[in-house]
């Protein structure tokens, strides 16, 4: 399997001389096509920083971020915005839907500048809405739907253009347990059936147990990683075991 993401000697230092904080310290890892990777670690470990520099929302201090063979650290703003649109899909904790657009319009947003035929777009929307269980709410507006439906709309938007890499930061953070489970099952299905490559930051061991591999970050560095072998339940237990050795206070995670 080819590498979708390669992170080399990644560092992120915030602040200026005299008041510097190293949020990421020499991080190295790879994600292969079709992987579903979780990023876990105590509060303040650097999880969001890591996701944000890969998402090109923030810039690293040094190191390489290679997506689909290209180093995004070296790209200029023009190239970057095309890159973001074509190669990345985003799912955030707070959904980030546009209130003035219907569910259908929110989902097709990433295709706004594409040259795909409208009839084909319609078909793609229906397919993805069907698999996420939101086909019946396509004409509704965000204020008319539940949190779980909002997040599945966001997931559909993240996947509509079949991005190289889907980035999710605490996607279940604002959901009740039933909606969380539905979303995680959907992400897992997309990963299995479409071979979607997903990197998900979460502090929640239950959410993480849907991943196939988990990287644990502590104090800006990778502490350890575990790979799912058996059932989700066994993996869940394994995650709890690592979290207990990780320290940093489970309660604040
Ligand atoms: N813009 C910023 N300026 C200064 N420090 C920051 C900034 N963003 C994050 N940090 C610091 O970097 C560390 C890692 O933050 P973050 O990546 O948000 O952690 P996590 O998502 O794992 O909780 C924290 O100590 C945080 O205070
Ligand atoms: Mg965070």
- The CA 78 to ligand 1 mean position distance, Å, reads 27
pTM for the model: 0.92
- What are φ and ψ of residue 80, in 5° steps? -60, -40
Question: Which pLDDT value is given to residue 252?
Answer: 43
Nearest CA to ligand 1 atom 20: 44
- The CA 45 to ligand 2 mean position distance, Å, reads 8
Question: Which pLDDT value is given to residue 12?
Answer: 97
Q: Which atom of ligand 1 is nearest to the CA of 41?
A: 22
- The CA 1 to ligand 2 mean position distance, Å, reads 29
Question: Which pLDDT value is given to residue 248?
Answer: 58
d(CA 33, CA 113): 26
Question: Which pLDDT value is given to residue 246?
Answer: 85
Average confidence (pLDDT) per 10 residues, the chain, 253 residues: 96 92 97 97 94 93 96 91 89 91 94 85 93 95 96 94 93 92 92 93 95 97 96 96 78 42
Which DSSP letter does residue 106 get?
Answer: H
- What are φ and ψ of residue 198, in 5° steps? -125, 135
Point out the ligand nearest to the CA of residue 39: 1
Nearest CA to ligand 1 atom 3: 14
- The CA 236 to ligand 2 mean position distance, Å, reads 21
- In Å, what is the CA distance from 241 to each residue of 53, 60, 142, 247? 29, 31, 39, 11
Question: Which pLDDT value is given to residue 106?
Answer: 95
Q: Which atom of ligand 1 is nearest to the CA of 220?
A: 14
């Amino acid at each position: 399997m080819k590498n979708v993401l390669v992170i080399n000697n990644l560092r992120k230092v915030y602040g200026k001389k005299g008041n510097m904080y190293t949020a990421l310290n020499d991080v190295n890892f790879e994600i292969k096509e079709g992987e579903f990777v979780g990023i876990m670690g105590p509060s303040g470990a650097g999880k969001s920083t890591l996701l944000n520099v890969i998402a090109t929302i923030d810039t690293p201090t040094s190191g390489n971020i290679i997506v689909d063979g290209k180093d995004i650290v070296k790209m200029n703003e023009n190239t970057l915005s095309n890159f973001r649109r074509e190669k990345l899909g985003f799912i955030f904790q707070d959904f980030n839907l546009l209130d003035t657009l219907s569910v259908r319009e929110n989902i097709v947003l990433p295709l706004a500048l594409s040259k795909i035929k409208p009839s084909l777009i319609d078909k793609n929307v229906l397919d993805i809405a069907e698999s996420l269980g939101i086909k019946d709410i396509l004409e509704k507006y965000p204020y008319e739907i539940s949190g779980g439906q909002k997040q599945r709309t966001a997931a559909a938007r993240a996947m509509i253009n079949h991005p190289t890499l889907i980035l999710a930061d605490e996607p279940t953070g604002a959901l009740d347990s039933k909606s969380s489970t539905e979303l995680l099952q959907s992400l897992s299905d997309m990963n299995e059936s479409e071979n979607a490559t997903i990197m998900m930051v979460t502090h929640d061991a239950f959410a993480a147990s849907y991943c196939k591999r988990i990287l644990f970050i502590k104090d800006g560095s990778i502490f350890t990683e575990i790979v799912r072998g058996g059932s989700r339940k066994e993996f869940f237990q394994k995650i709890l075991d690592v979290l207990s050795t990780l320290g940093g206070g489970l309660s604040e995670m």
